Amino acid sequence: MKIAGPRIYALHRCDHAIRFPALKHEAPHPGDEQKRTQLVRIEKVRGVTHSMRPWKPPFWIGSRLFTDEDIALIETIVHRFSQLTRYELAATVCENLPWKAPNGSLKVDMCRQLLGIMASAGVIMLPPKRARTQKPHEPKAQPLPSVPIECPLKDLRPVTVDPVPMDEQPLWNATLDAHHPLGYRTPFGAHQRYWIKGRENQILGSLLFAAPAKALADRDNWIGWNPLDRRQFICRIVSNSRYLILPGVNVPNLASHALALATRRLRSDWQKRYGYAPVLLETFVTQPYRGTCYRAAGWRFLGETGSTNKRDQKKRGHIPIKMIFAYPLIKHWRGELLAPMPALPDDEEQEADFCPQF
């Protein structure tokens, strides 16, 4: 197969992916078909890669269907351009399949995992990993202290919910880790941090919106979608995975008021950052908490996670049962949830602007 005019494609301000205007699938190299026996499906759950049952194309990874032609194309790219780094190979594969997120950015991290599994199965041979450069040690940020505040909500107005600037993220992370019962974990996938501020920009708490649960029986039954729709459109659901009012802040109605402010601005913030707008929010509440602020802010109780069957609990070990709440961000949310994704721009310059800013 002749490849005419390969060109470098800019990804996240770096030239990592080679893009071919008319790249066609090439037949796999002799012996490769026999090697493709133990390749497994990968899925990311809470940032962890799990090996699933062996598969044979067609198969799904997230919202994308992979076929025999896709696997053959991956093998061709890796074989032809073995001089590239693993990151560059993954970016090149994503660009040519294509394999992209709803905002148009290439799904390089997921692709790197797929390439690693293919290499472990003997399907492809990847270049050796490059040694990581040692980053200079940075002093750990100190969390915000608890400050006793007891007053009516009107004394703190105007209350605002503001996105966290990049230079304040270490402080936000440290504060959440120190004061939230679940601590802080690096969010997986698309996410948005917020500060809750009162008069004179006094910080009162924080919020984190991130990736939703992959599957929830009560939520999915309430939505009424099938597994294929869920796999394709679950990115339009966002989870309020952390909510913190700083210790010492005792202001009636503050929690529900701040939550309402966040839900009003989240769609536009998500659109600016990731190129699409979510339509449904979800969250989980573990006892002894009752989800009072969510109920007061109009969130709907859907049910509970896990099973109350003693045999199931014994098999799964002690897993706390959580209450599930949901909140539609628009009126006709079911139709919008299952609407086809908008077409991505073809122009390269427009495409580069879709890269999320973390």
Residue-wise pLDDT for 65-116, tens only, equals 899 999 999 999 999 998 899 999 999 999 999 998 877 889 998 899 999 9
CB 86 within 8 A of CB 124: no
Residue 168 confidence (pLDDT): 97
Burial class of residue 124 (count of CB atoms within 10 Å of its CB; 0-12, 13-18, 19+): buried
pLDDT band at 166 (very low <50, low <70, confident <90, very high): very high
> Contacts by 61-67 with C-beta closer than 8 Å and gap 24+?
61/110, 61/114, 62/107, 62/110, 62/231, 63/231, 63/232, 63/233, 63/234, 63/235, 64/99
Residue 141 confidence (pLDDT): 92
CA dihedral 286, 290, 293, 296 (to 10 degrees): 140
Could you give the domains of the chain?
Answer: 7-120 (no CATH), 149-352 (3.40.630.30)
Residue 139 confidence (pLDDT): 76
* Interval 7-24 mean pLDDT: 44
pLDDT tens-place string over residues 235-255: 999 999 999 999 999 999 999
Contacts of residue 286, defined as CB under 8 A and 6 or more positions apart, other chains included, come to: 320, 321, 322, 323
For the cut 50, the answer to whether the pLDDT of residue 3 exceeds it is no
Q: How far apart are CA 159 and CA 135, in angstroms?
A: 38
pLDDT: is 56 or 270 the higher one?
270
Least confident of 4-13, 14-23, 69-78, 185-194: 4-13
Q: Which residue, 73, 36, 31, is CA-closest to 55? A: 36
Q: How far apart are CA 112 and CA 104, in angstroms?
A: 18
For the cut 60, the answer to whether the pLDDT of residue 37 exceeds it is no
For the cut 70, the answer to whether the pLDDT of residue 323 exceeds it is yes
Q: Which residue, 6, 9, 5, 3, is CA-closest to 348? A: 9
Least confident of 196-200, 227-231, 267-271: 227-231
Least confident of 149-153, 167-171, 229-233, 259-263: 229-233
pLDDT: is 7 or 178 the higher one?
178
Residue 326 confidence (pLDDT): 98
Residue 5 confidence (pLDDT): 32
Residue 267 confidence (pLDDT): 97
User: What would the 3-class secondary structure string for the chain be?
Assistant: CCCCCCEEEEECCEEEEEECCCCCCCCCCCCHHHHCCCCEEEEEECCEEEEEEECCCCEEECCEEECHHHHHHHHHHHHHCCCCCHHHHHHHHHHHCCCECCCCCECHHHHHHHHHHHHHCCCCCCCCCCCCCCCCCCCCCCCCCCCCEECCHHHCCCCEEEECCHHHHHHHHHHHHHHCCCCCCCCCCCCEEEEEECHHHCEEEEEEEECCCCCCHHHHHHHCCCHHHHHHHHHHEEEEEEEEECCCEECCCHHHHHHHHHHHHHHHHHHHHHCCCCCEEEEEEECCCCCHHHHHCCCEEEEECCCCCHHHHHHHCCCCCEEEEEEECCCCHHHHHCCCCCCCCCCHHHHHCCCCCC
Residue 335 confidence (pLDDT): 95
For the cut 80, the answer to whether the pLDDT of residue 262 exceeds it is yes
pLDDT: is 62 or 355 the higher one?
62
pLDDT band at 58 (very low <50, low <70, confident <90, very high): confident
Please name the amino acid found at residue 169. Q
pLDDT: is 61 or 133 the higher one?
61
Residue 35 confidence (pLDDT): 41
pLDDT tens-place string over residues 269-302: 999 998 899 999 999 999 889 999 999 999 999 9
Least confident of 154-158, 227-231, 305-309: 305-309
Q: What is the mean pLDDT of the chain?
A: 81
Residue 316 confidence (pLDDT): 54
Q: What percent of the chain has pLDDT over 90?
A: 58
**In angstroms, how far is CA 133 from the centroid of its own chain?**
26
Residue 133 confidence (pLDDT): 72
pLDDT: is 6 or 262 the higher one?
262
pLDDT: is 244 or 121 the higher one?
244
CB 282 within 8 A of CB 266: no
